[in-house]
C-alpha cells in the first residue's frame, strides 16, 4: 500500500499541476473556479455532500466516541475497533440528508455541463453499499471522469457550525433512543402501503410454507 501511495505522490510531484487552496462556506462557490469542462470536481462525502439529520451518525460524533475511549486509556486502534460496531449499526439505519438545500442542484448542474465528479471518503468498505444507498436516497449522483486536470482545493465549511455546536448529551440521548428502536422515527404508513401489506399477508395465507 505504501509503495502505491509513494508512486502516486511521485507522479503528482512530477506533473505540472497548478494548485490553489481556498476556503468557502457554500457549495455553489465551486463554479467560481470552473472555467472549462476539462475539470474534475472531487467532493468529500461526510459534512460536505451529506450529513446525518441527528447528532449521531456524523463524523464529529464518531470522533467524540473515539476521544471518550482514548480518555479511558485505550490505544487508538483499539478505541476505533470498539466503536465501529455501533457506528456501523447506526449507519445502516440512520438516513443522510444533504448538507445544503442546493447540494443536489449543484451536482445536477455539474452533470449537465458534462463536468465529472467523484467523492472520496474514509468510510469503511463494510458500509460502501450502504453509503451508495444513502446517497441515492437523497438524489446525490456522481459521474466518472476520464480526463487530465489541474488541481484547485476548496476547503468547504458547510457543516463547520454544526461540528462546533456538537452536543454530546443530545448524542448520548439519541444513541439510547436508537438502541431502543426509536430512531430513526418510523414514517406513518400510507393507505397504499397498508393495502400492499394486507394483500401480501393475504397471499401468504395461500402459499404453503
**pLDDT tens-digit readout, 106-162:** 999 999 988 888 888 888 888 999 999 999 999 999 887 665 555 555 666 667 777
How far are the Cα atoms of 15, 26, 27, 95, 140 from residue 105, in angstroms, in the given order? 33, 13, 10, 20, 9
Pairing of β 151-156 and β 19-24: parallel
pLDDT digits (tens, 9 = 90+) for 158-184: 677 778 888 888 888 888 888 888 877
How many CB atoms sit inside 10 A of residue 65's CB? Answer: 21
Please give the grid coordinates belonging to residue 119. 467523492
Q: How far apart are CA 80 and CA 78, in angstroms?
A: 6
Q: For residue 207, what pLDDT is reported? A: 52
- The candidate with the shortest Cα–Cα distance to 61, out of 136, 187, 159, 135, is 159
Q: Is the pLDDT of residue 17 over 80?
A: no
pLDDT of 199: 56
Tell me, what's the pLDDT at 14?
A: 46
Residue 184: cis peptide before it, omega within 30 degrees of 0: yes
pTM: 0.65
CA angle, 137 as apex, 61 and 128 as ends, to 5°? 60
pLDDT score for 39: 82
Amino acid at each position: 500500500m505504501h509503495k502505491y501511495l509513494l508512486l502516486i505522490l511521485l507522479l503528482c510531484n512530477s506533473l505540472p499541476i497548478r494548485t490553489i487552496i481556498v476556503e468557502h462556506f457554500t457549495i455553489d462557490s465551486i463554479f467560481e473556479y470552473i472555467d472549462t469542462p476539462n475539470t474534475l470536481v472531487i467532493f468529500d462525502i461526510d459534512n460536505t455532500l451529506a450529513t446525518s439529520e441527528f447528532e449521531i451518525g456524523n463524523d464529529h460524533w464518531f470522533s467524540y466516541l473515539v476521544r471518550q475511549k482514548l480518555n479511558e486509556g485505550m490505544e487508538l486502534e483499539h478505541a476505533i475497533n470498539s466503536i465501529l460496531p455501533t457506528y456501523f449499526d447506526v449507519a445502516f439505519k440512520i438516513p443522510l440528508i444533504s448538507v445544503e438545500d442546493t447540494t443536489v442542484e449543484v451536482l445536477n448542474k455539474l452533470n449537465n455541463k458534462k463536468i465529472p465528479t467523484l467523492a472520496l471518503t474514509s468510510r469503511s468498505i463494510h458500509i460502501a453499499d450502504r453509503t451508495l444507498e444513502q446517497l441515492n436516497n437523497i438524489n446525490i449522483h456522481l459521474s466518472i471522469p476520464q480526463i487530465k486536470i489541474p488541481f484547485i482545493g476548496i476547503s468547504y465549511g458547510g457543516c463547520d457550525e454544526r461540528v462546533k455546536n456538537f452536543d454530546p448529551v443530545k448524542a448520548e440521548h439519541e444513541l439510547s433512543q436508537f438502541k431502543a428502536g426509536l430512531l430513526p422515527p418510523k414514517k406513518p404508513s400510507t393507505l397504499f402501503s397498508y393495502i400492499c401489506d394486507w394483500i401480501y399477508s393475504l397471499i401468504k395465507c395461500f402459499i404453503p410454507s
